[in-house]
Structure 1
Amino acid sequence: MRRRTFTASLGAAAVAATAVPGAAAAATSRRCDDAYTWRNAVVNGGGYVPGIVFNETEPDLIYARTDIGGLYRWQEGTQSWLPLLDWIGWDQWGWTGVVSVATDPVETNRVYAAVGTYTNDWDPSPGAVLYSDDKGATWGVAELPFKQGGNMPGRGMGERLAVDPADNANLYLGTPNGNGLWKSADFGRTWAKVESFPNAGNFVQDPGSDYSDDNQGVVWIDFDLAGGRTFVGVADPDDPLYVSSDGGATWQAVPGAAAALGTADGNRTIPKQAAFDHENGHLFIVTGWDPGPYNGAPASGRGGSVQRLTLATGEWTDVTPGHNPIGAIPGFGGLTVDRKRPGTLMAATQNNWWPDEIIYRSTDSGQTWETSWDYVWDANWSWPPARTDRFTMDASGSEWLSFGHTDDGPAYAVKHGWMIDALAIDPHDSDRIMWGTGATIWGTERLTEWDGQGPLVGWDAEAGHQVTLPVEPFTVAVRAEGLEETAVQDIAALGGTLVSAMGDLGGFVQTDLGRAGTQIRRPNWTSGRGVDFAGLHPDVVVGTGDVEGDADGHVGVSTDGGATWLTTARLEGVAGGGNAGSVAVNADGSVVVWSPGNGTTAPVYSTDLGQTWTPVEGLPAGALVRSDRSDPNRLYALASGVFYASVDGGTTFAATPATGLPAEGNVDFRAVPGKRRHLWLTGGKTDGVYGMWRSTDGGRSWRRIRDFEEADAVGFGKGRGRRGYPAIFTSAKAGGKRGIWRSTDEGLSWQRVNDDAHQWAWTGKAISGDPEVYGRVYIATNGRGLVYGDIAE
């Protein structure tokens, strides 16, 4: 008998005892035999970027934070972003939600991140402040006694974390849920509550929700450089702004702040973001009636304002832009000032859903504003109205940003964005701006061309109505290269083609991993949930996803390897939303079996590519369905720890005699390519049955793989040698160590192929090898995109 062995990876580098290694986008992990190089299958963005922060003193030092996908640093030479938190492991997955980032203006190598994804029980771990002395190459961790909400409402406010420029050893942190204001006096190593700060906030968006019921708390900190004062914004409409003139020893409410910041057209509002114009002595603040980033205008009209505080006199001035082509301004998200051009500031709406967000620009401290676009109706109110734009949107490399739409009058397919909280003019270059959206980062290096364009709308005296005026637009383009924030739900590696299902984006078909490829738009999935292919005819691909409306079914079918897709029939009683469930296609592509995810509809099968459905016999609602890769007659299912098999092409299923399988938790199983009736199963719960099992008889009996105390995904790739068993990959825990493991000898021995610098937090959804490239592994992450590794040459 061959002995089972494990080989763990060696560390990527020796680091200080209090530090953990950072990660590079294509760094190499070292093991005792193979070295792996890690990259992303490129999408470019794909998630919400709520914060972009430029260092005030070092040019080109820029950080972007994401709500679930970690922190990035800009690389000027390659015009791309470098991930900095790939070292975060399974148990601390919540630290990939970055609620705030602070870059030190004095010692620019220092950077800090306030992390924690959820403040409710979805995230079991407390929040932390991460600190780095080398721009994120290595990190230390200061855990906090409370949670933080990198993916909670209000995550675009702030920044909640700030370095005091007068003494950069001092940092402040604003926190939610009554935890108040905190301070570190030792470069973020230790933290203590500022007991003298009088107000922990009281604004709760929705007290009846377990997601929107946070007290938003202390939402930003900023510094008056000329006056040596510290200002703090608080989510309390009756007392929203405080100031300290003695280094935080004492605090006073700012006079007039409640009247200026606490109401907008009768709505109770909070100070969402702030920016200082130090030269002119102004503090600008945008307010909103909710913390964002989802809601539009309240029913009562305007949802926020732009306020200007003159620091020398204490005078408040409402400088809210007065024009929105479609009516009342719903509220504001991002705010930024131009450090090189005092008096210049910009603000973004949130959420001006139709036809587009508006970015406003003022060059006179908010007295007058210009819009990024405008439109007017002709005298006959003809459709479409004439729209004119200050810039054009270049989505090259991210063509999917149209989301399958075409221009519809003033509603362009490629928009300025939505949920624009991150809005930042480069403090060293007035021509550069970046802004984050719910899907990408946009930017330009030609911003000041705006100021020479003149107005967008004029008056035709002869015709007696408004007209749009011609402008010479500059170009705004995608600036998200290297930043990968998709939440991958499933993977199908076909050999030369990679098909993925993704949250929020539907899915992608890629024949070149260096480009985003084609987004799956028909059916119109809001989120893709699963993909499968016919083992003997891999050009037949099926997928399932959440859908909206009544036009598309949940299941999509392709007969040309994902190049084109057909939608399928809807089922009565199965609505859109989260009812995607699981789908399988048998080995020769002649039968599709779909198990809806509503928990009440029994699985169905189709022999005409989903145009009609027939109920399956013998399976409960919600069963997970998979197909044998070699035998067209065999399909399998799992529900509540009971394993089922079909020997008639999915028409009927019967329970097998198997016992001891996990009945709860994240459970999955996959069939082995080229090996009839060979199955591997993973999943379970830490307080119950959890691990990996193998069957070679179509699921009738299973053998526990004792090497793993936990396992959450399993997949297969090209084997070693011409006739070898496929390589097996798993995201699992062995000997107390979480990692990505590979076996090339049918599970007799396992080796960890990643290292501690490359962990990508939670990787339990899906994993796959490549059928044509030996050693390649594809890993589904929850916010760091689709990572793949190759054996380094």
Structure 2
Amino acid sequence: MMALPNGAGLSRRGFLAGTGVAVAAVAVGPFSGPLSAWAGEDSDSKQRDAYTWKNAVINGGGFVSGIVFNETARNLIYARTDIGGCYRWQEDSRTWKPLLDWVGRDKWGYSGVVSMATDPVETNRVYAAVGTYTLDWDPNNGAILYSDDRGETWGIAELPFKQGGNMPGRGMGERLVVNPADNAELYLGTPNGNGLWRSKDYGRTWAAVENFPNPGNFVIDPGNIILADNQGVIWIDFDQIGGKIYVGVADPADPLYESEDGGATWQPVPGAAEALGAVDGNRTIPNQSAVDDVNGYLYIATSHDPGPGNAPAASGNGGKIMRLSTQTGEWTDVTPTYNPRGVIPGFGGITVDRQNPGTLMTATRNNWWPDEIIYRSTDSGQTWQLSWDYAEGEERTDRFDMDSSGSPWLSWNGEDQGAAYAVKHGWMIDALAIDPHDPDRIMWGTGATIWGTEELTRWDSQGELIGEDEAGRRIALPVEKFTVGVRVEGLEETAVLDLAALGGALVSAVGDVSGFVHTDLDRAEPMIDADWSTGTSVDFAQSNPDIIVGAGRVHGNEKGHVGVSTDRGKTWRNAARVDGVPGDGHGGTVAISADGSRIVWSPSDTEITPVYSTDLGATWNPVQGLPAGAKIRSDRVRAAVLYSFSGGTFYRSTDGGVTFTDAGAVGLPAGGVEDFRTVPGRKNHVWLAGRGDAKEGISGGMWRSKDGGTTWKKITEFQMADSIGFGKAAKRSGYPAIYTSASIGGKAGIYRSIDGGNKWYRINDDEHQWANAGAAITGDPLLYGRVYLATNGRGIIYGDITA
């Protein structure tokens, strides 16, 4: 059962029909308790400040797996993400509002949203199928979240199985749908043999559809823990002309079912296996569908790969677009016949124009280079036009221009190389939707952002895109282009691994998108130009903060893992590669001495010795006395002193990182330590945070040392702690404010102390928990009370004391 916010109600809904599984429906209401919870008593009200929380603007940064327009209410749009929750569009500001920030650590898997459904009859109703992993990584089962107020508050119907919001196939669907003929009825397609499920009471309780005959059998790779999922029941769609219900199943031999009696009985659709099951010897499955209820067509996009990011088929086509006449049962292959790459690896999203019957669009899946292709047809798939094609030479011609100014990092610091543009139409395009109320508006999600335009029908007024030259080669003819821009503002979906606040600048290391230097928290910044695929660690010289270092994972063996800036993050250069450290990973932790004279880097590999540099990374030397993979930090006052921790041993260097020795500490945990940090302005002060390891019998908590790591005191309030950080003191010459993501009395939260750690107060509330938050935390050195928080899927959150 989920820990409830103050004031929330709870009701038992009994047993699932026919399953014997108790399912609780939990009503999550607005937080009505105090904004701060605290440990201990204190008369100083300043300790109990209320906080206002916002995002440092990155704009996107992760996989947007679905975009759902309400069919009857204009401008009611929802977006779902694989680890960052779901969002509702706000037309007035053209931004997205997060809807699941109330999800706490105990149910962090609810931040992975595998499907959404918006009610076309009672349009305030919205539903989300949640659960991040089908593996035991997520200790909880999945759930259906239901809301009667467009996601402002939610109830929870727990399910007896897991769902995979961040598993392969997460962009397929939609797996969760509302029956437009009876909006109290919902259907849910599930993975791993759990079949088709149904609710008849607005999502409050659920039961398996016992007579649904096929739970699916398609597995990408049974020998791979991630790819071994049975993709199961993929989507449900409705024919509103004849009243049929269609269900797509991950079974190439039996991929499509229909019901003509409201779900009482189910039959395979004749000819479906031949139409959908294979392309050029590759098994294919029906990953998405769209219905044209005027012409009576069901369109199905197939792919050999559930996606979103696996490699394309080695050879041959891997998918097609099939059209089923819902009245006659006739199948027609309407697959686009041309792809500039030569083969079509498969298809992702598919959508129809409700205002212009016969108009539909689809996108390639995993076309990768030089770009994905979006196809558009205005004659029910008989002919198609492409979003881009090759022109003469190495150039290409496009239907539209890409305006990435809303997210300047979308170029990945690259440059156009012929037909391979730095700013791409996208990749992993499973979310593709034309506004049912406005044929000029389309949005599509990618592995990084949402693109969109309000000029879509200008596509149809352009001249033919494809022609032939004298040699018979296909060429692209000039077209009058429209503009596609970023439509992801407000949707923040990065996994942040480290933070450093310099005062006037916030430096971050970020999964998949390197990292950023924010000098304006309300503005998306360019990506750190250090060739990281993922940033893992950042640090700065305390007495010379113009010098910043960072480390990250890199692709290939050409670039160094450490990046260095000497102008406060405006420009970066890669440090030299270290012999014996391959590419593709190994970011680890990096530290720079307080005066900026020494860098110490510890790759995240148990076989690679940490190294130090005295020339800002131009050359490296092996550190003496440290095990591989040890975490490293520098003293914030003493330039020659650095610290390290590994396996229960705390190490100290007094010669700038050349050698480390055991500091002689006892009583520290042997594992489960997430973070340790040193205190600005306090030499020899070190704090250590640990989650512990229940399987190994290691307890978590927090420890502090005032003598450089020789002796330690355990902070008894904390059962576990993820991270520790420091900011401006509450009083002049006072101890820096301490911030931590930790648990007191079993309550995970963001806690602060302004008296050196004697008393701690929770500064977030139950409406602001951000699921699995707190891998890194730091205060601002210039602004008392401001705290920056890393989240695993909701970007960089920062809080200020409420005015």
How far off is 1:374 after superposition? 1.0
Map Cα deviations across residues 622-671 of structure 1 (whole Å, 9 max, x no partner). Answer: 11110000000110000001000111111111101111212222421000
SS at match of 2:109: helix
Q: Matches of 2:473 and 2:502 in 1, distance apart?
A: 59
1:722 aligns with 2:732: yes
Identify the residue that residue 637 of structure 1 maps to in structure 2. 644
Q: How does 1:616-765 map to 2 (within 5 A)?
A: 616-687=623-694, 688-765=698-775
Q: How does 1:194-205 map to 2 (within 5 A)?
A: 194-205=209-220
Identify the residue that residue 18 of structure 2 maps to in structure 1. none
Identify the residue that residue 163 of structure 1 maps to in structure 2. 178
Identity within the alignment, %: 66
Q: Matches of 2:248 and 2:674 in 1, distance apart?
A: 45
How far off is 1:22 after superposition? 6.7
Q: How does 1:312-711 map to 2 (within 5 A)?
A: 312-377=327-392, 383-384=393-394, 386-459=395-468, 467-522=475-530, 524-687=531-694, 688-711=698-721
How far off is 1:214 after superposition? 0.2
How far off is 1:258 after superposition? 0.4
Map Cα deviations across residues 507-546 of structure 1 (whole Å, 9 max, x no partner). Answer: 1011000112231122x00000000111111111111000
1:294 aligns with 2:309: yes
Q: Matches of 2:770 and 2:30 in 1, distance apart?
A: 11
User: Higher mean Cα deviation, 315-324 or 510-519?
Assistant: 510-519
Given that 2:8 and 2:30 are in contact with CA atoms closer than 8 Å, whether structure 1 keeps it comes out as no
Given that 2:130 and 2:142 are in contact with CA atoms closer than 8 Å, whether structure 1 keeps it comes out as yes
Letter in 1 for 2:634: S
Letter in 2 for 1:740: I
Q: How does 1:76-95 map to 2 (within 5 A)?
A: 76-95=91-110
Q: Matches of 2:286 and 2:685 in 1, distance apart?
A: 59
SS at match of 1:259: helix
How far off is 1:263 after superposition? 1.2
Given that 2:671 and 2:693 are in contact with CA atoms closer than 8 Å, whether structure 1 keeps it comes out as no
Map Cα deviations across residues 700-735 of structure 1 (whole Å, 9 max, x no partner). Answer: 010000011111100000011221110000001001
Given that 1:661 and 1:689 are in contact with CA atoms closer than 8 Å, whether structure 2 keeps it comes out as no
Q: Matches of 1:21 and 1:489 in 2, distance apart?
A: 31
How far off is 1:764 after superposition? 3.3
Letter in 2 for 1:596: P
Identify the residue that residue 41 of structure 2 maps to in structure 1. none
User: Higher mean Cα deviation, 28-37 or 422-431?
Assistant: 28-37
How far off is 1:420 after superposition? 0.2
Q: Matches of 1:467 and 1:52 in 2, distance apart?
A: 33
Identify the residue that residue 138 of structure 1 maps to in structure 2. 153
Q: Matches of 2:659 and 2:390 in 1, distance apart?
A: 59
1:770 aligns with 2:780: yes
Q: Matches of 2:437 and 2:756 in 1, distance apart?
A: 57
Alignment TM-score, normalising by the size of structure 2 = 0.94
Given that 1:540 and 1:589 are in contact with CA atoms closer than 8 Å, whether structure 2 keeps it comes out as yes
Q: Matches of 2:177 and 2:77 in 1, distance apart?
A: 15
**Tell me, which stretches of 5 or more residues in structure 2 are unaligned?**
11-25, 38-44
Map Cα deviations across residues 311-337 of structure 1 (whole Å, 9 max, x no partner). Answer: 111000000001111201111001000
User: Higher mean Cα deviation, 220-229 or 331-340?
Assistant: 220-229
How far off is 1:467 after superposition? 4.5
Map Cα deviations across residues 81-115 of structure 1 (whole Å, 9 max, x no partner). Answer: 00000000011111100000000111111111001
Map Cα deviations across residues 381-431 of structure 1 (whole Å, 9 max, x no partner). Answer: xx42x4111100000121110001111111111000000000000000000
SS at match of 2:107: helix
Alignment TM-score, normalising by the size of structure 1 = 0.96
RMSD of Structure 2 on Structure 1 (CA)? 1.7
How far off is 1:223 after superposition? 0.8
How far off is 1:371 after superposition? 0.4
How many residue pairs are counted as aligned between the two chains?
Answer: 773
Map Cα deviations across residues 539-596 of structure 1 (whole Å, 9 max, x no partner). Answer: 1111100011222111111111111112111122211122111111011000001111
Q: Matches of 1:68 and 1:564 in 2, distance apart?
A: 31
2:140 corresponds, among 119, 125, 142, to 125
How far off is 1:457 after superposition? 2.7
SS at match of 1:450: helix
Given that 2:5 and 2:28 are in contact with CA atoms closer than 8 Å, whether structure 1 keeps it comes out as no
Tell me: CA distance 1:531–1:134, structure 2 relative to 1, closer, same or farther (3 Å): same
How far off is 1:465 after superposition? 6.0
Q: How does 1:58-73 map to 2 (within 5 A)?
A: 58-73=73-88
Q: Matches of 1:583 and 1:247 in 2, distance apart?
A: 61
Q: How does 1:260-299 map to 2 (within 5 A)?
A: 260-299=275-314
Given that 1:104 and 1:111 are in contact with CA atoms closer than 8 Å, whether structure 2 keeps it comes out as yes
Letter in 2 for 1:142: A
Identify the residue that residue 14 of structure 2 maps to in structure 1. none
Q: Matches of 1:392 and 1:170 in 2, distance apart?
A: 42
1:216 corresponds, among 228, 231, 234, to 231
User: Higher mean Cα deviation, 73-82 or 743-752?
Assistant: 743-752
Given that 1:502 and 1:528 are in contact with CA atoms closer than 8 Å, whether structure 2 keeps it comes out as yes
Q: Matches of 1:173 and 1:182 in 2, distance apart?
A: 5
SS at match of 2:368: coil
